[in-house]
Amino acid sequence: MPRREGMERKDLLKANVKIFKSQGAALDKYAKKSVKVIVVGNPANTNCLTAIKSAPSIPKENFSCLTRLDHNRAMAQIALKLGVTAKDVKNVIIWGNHSSTQYPDVNHAKVKYQGKEVAVYEALKNDSWLKGEFISTVQQRGAAVIKARKLSSAMSAAKAIGDHIRDIWFGTPEGEFVSMGVISDGNSYGVPEDLLYSFPVVIKNKTWKIVAGLPVNDFSREKMDLTAKELTEEKETAFEFLTSA
């Protein structure tokens, strides 16, 4: 169920918990245990977690939610700023929730620029933009699209879903990682367990793995914790509704 004007996020959660509880139960009963489930409907992370909880016989790892649209938007912003194509940018990360608290991170991103591959920070030489306007533009892009076309993203969302599925099916290219909302269990970034959180992942043999051990500076830590806090609160609210749904 889409968010309508005047709706609180809590109202949206309440409506969607019922939907994703029944979807999860149906998957649990009728789907192959090897099914791959991608949740796009918002709030996508918590809807996905609701489906996981309602489908206990299907491995948690088979569920993911879409943060590839945000990932693609982040690459596009960098590409526009440098006058290259989005294909020349790799290893941006979307951490956390598919909401305005998400953290688009380019500390580990690389770009093909002037004939060589360099770090995005080095190519741009504009730290204040990367730590300010770039982040807020990616965070608010969905709202900007709705304002412009009176409807949410369509073609760009479809393209992102295609990218997400293609990478699950064929794997990620060597030396590259992509962003995907997955279960946080066993991550090396201090994100609480049992959250559906967007991480950098590599995919091989249709199995994703969180990229471990990337250095996290204080600026990133604060942003990553903030979006984890929102997800924890959303999860608590959803589970209250889940028990009564």
Q: What are the structure tokens assigned to 158, written together? A: 């479809």
Q: Are 23 and 41 in contact (CB under 8 A)?
A: no
CA distances from 80 to 76, 91, 92, 98 (A): 6, 16, 15, 23
Q: Are 181 and 70 in contact (CB under 8 A)?
A: no
Q: Which one is catalytic: 71, 98, 108, 164? A: 98
Q: Which region, left, alpha or beta, applies to residue 43 given φ > 0 means left and ψ of -120 to 50 means alpha?
A: beta
Closest CA to 208 of 169, 157, 162: 169
Q: Which residue, chain included where needed, has tokens 């609160």?
A: 233
Q: Are 224 and 216 in contact (CB under 8 A)?
A: yes
Catalytic residue status for 71: no
Strand locations in 157-206, DSSP E? 178-183, 196-204
What residues are labeled active site? Answer: 98
